[in-house]
Amino acid sequence: MESVDQLAKKATGLKPLERIRLVEAILYSLDKPDPSIEQCWVAESEARYEAYKRGELAAIDWDEIKKRYER
């Protein structure tokens, strides 16, 4: 297998559009969701929604949330 330095040297020889496509392919390979984490987020969001429907969890207006973080 080629080293990172060797690959980088080859990549710099590519046309700009080819380099962009290479970078996109590398970034895409790093951005794969973990199914177990995704399941946890789904379960959490469903639990919160059910608590909201039962009246156990209050909702906050979006404008109020934005005010908290304005500078």
Give the tokens for residue 22.
């290479």
Residues in Cβ contact with 51 at an 8 Å cutoff, skipping those fewer than 6 apart: 57
pLDDT score recorded for residue 8: 93
Tell me the mean pLDDT in the region 12-19. Answer: 96
Domain ranges across the chain: 1-32, 33-71
69 vs 25, 62, 63, 64, CA distance in Å? Answer: 35, 11, 10, 9
Average pLDDT over residues 15-43: 93
The pLDDT score that the predictor gives to residue 62 is 94
Q: Is-contact 66 60, C-beta < 8 A?
A: no
Number of CB atoms found within 10 A of residue 41's CB: 10
Which amino acid belongs to residue 59? A
pLDDT at position 47: 97
